[in-house]
Structure 1
Amino acid sequence: MSFGQGGGGFGGPGGQGQGSGFGPPGSGGPAPDWGALADSAAAERRRKRRLFTIVGGAVATVVIAGAVAAVVVTTSGGDDDPSGSASKNQISGAESESGKGDPTFSSVAPPPDPRKLISSADTDPAPLTVDSFFPNAKITVDGHDYDRRATDSTDKCASAASTELAKVLKANDCTRLLRATYTRGDTAVTVGVAVFDNDGPAGRAAEQAVGNLESLPGKGVPEFCRATACRLTTNTLGRYAYFTIAGYADGKAVTTQDRATKEAVQDTGWYVYRRIMDRGREQSLKSTEQ
Structure 2
Amino acid sequence: MRTGPAGGASPVPPARTPAAPERTSRSAPSPAKPAPAPAKSSGGPAPGSALAALGSTSGDTAAPLRSSKRTWQLIIGSLGVLLLLGICGLSSYFFMVDDPVGRDSRAADGAGAGVAPRDISSRTADPAPLTVKEVFPNGKEVLVDPEQSAYELLKTQQAEECDLVADGQIAAVLQEAGCSQFVRGTVRSPTGLYVATAGIVNLADEAGATSAREKIKPIVDGRKGRFLGLAAGRGTEAVTAASAQAGWHVRGHFLIYCVVAKSDGKTIGDQDLFARQILSDMIEVYLRGKVLDQRALTPSGPASPAGSD
TM-score range, shorter chain: 0.5 to 0.7
**2:171 matched to 1:166?**
yes
Q: Quick one: which of 89, 109, 116 aligns to 1:76?
A: 109
Pairs within 5 Å for 1:206-221:
206-209=213-216, 210-211=219-220, 212-221=226-235
Aligned to 1:249: 263
Count of residue correspondences:
191
* Distance of 2:104 and 2:247 partners within structure 1: 45
2-structure distance, mates of 1:272, 1:177: 13
Shift of 1:122: 2.8
Structure 1 counterpart of 2:252 = 238
In the alignment, what sits opposite 1:205?
A: 212
Identity of aligned residues (%): 25
1:272 lines up with 2:279 in the alignment: no
Aligned residue for 1:224?
238
- With CA pairs under 8 Å and 6+ residues apart, which has the higher RCO, 1 or 2? 2
In structure 2, the gaps of 5 or more residues are: 1-98, 221-225, 303-309
Quick one: which amino acid aligns to residue 196 of structure 1? Answer: L
Give the partner amino acid of 2:156: T
2:182 to 177, 183, 186: 177
**Residue 278 of structure 1 aligns to a residue in which SS?**
helix
Query: Matched residues in 1 for 2:112 and 2:163: separation?
Result: 45
2:199 corresponds to 1:192: yes
CA change 1:70–1:120 in 2 (3 A) is: farther
**Alpha-carbon distance between aligned partners in 1 of 2:242 and 2:268, rounded to the nearest angstrom:** 8
1:259 is displaced (CA, Å) by: 2.0
Q: Is it true that 1:281 corresponds to 2:297 in the alignment?
A: yes
Letter in 2 for 1:125: P
TM-score by length of 2: 0.54
* Equivalent position to 2:123, from 112, 121, 124: 121
Shift of 1:271: 1.0
Question: 1:220-245 CA distances to partner (integer Å, 9 max, x unpaired)?
Answer: 44322444533321110011001111
Task: Sort the Cα spacing of 1:108 and 1:225 in 2 relative to 1 into closer, same or farther, 3 A.
Answer: closer
Displacement of 1:156 in angstroms is 1.8
Aligned to 2:136: 134
Change (3 A) 1:76 1:186: same
> Which amino acid is the alignment partner of residue 109 of structure 2?
S
Q: Which amino acid aligns with 2:153?
A: R
Q: Root-mean-square deviation (CA), in Å?
A: 2.8
Q: Is the 8 A contact 2:231 2:240 kept in 1?
A: no
Contact persistence 1:124–1:280 (CA under 8 A): no
Question: 2 CA distance for matches of 1:207 and 1:69?
Answer: 52
Are the aligned partners of 2:200 and 2:257 in contact in 1 as well (CA < 8 Å)?
Answer: yes
Are 1:157 and 2:171 matched, yes or no?
Answer: no
Q: How far, CA to CA, are the matches of 2:154 and 2:112 in structure 1?
A: 45
Residues 73, 183 of structure 1: alpha-carbon distance in 2 compared, 3 angstrom cutoff: same
Q: TM-score, normalised by structure 1?
A: 0.58
- Cα 1:180–1:71 change in 2 (3 A) is same
* Residues 203, 219 of structure 1: alpha-carbon distance in 2 compared, 3 angstrom cutoff: same
Q: Is the 8 A contact 1:149 1:221 kept in 2?
A: no
Q: Gapped runs of 5+ residues in structure 1?
A: 1-65, 78-106
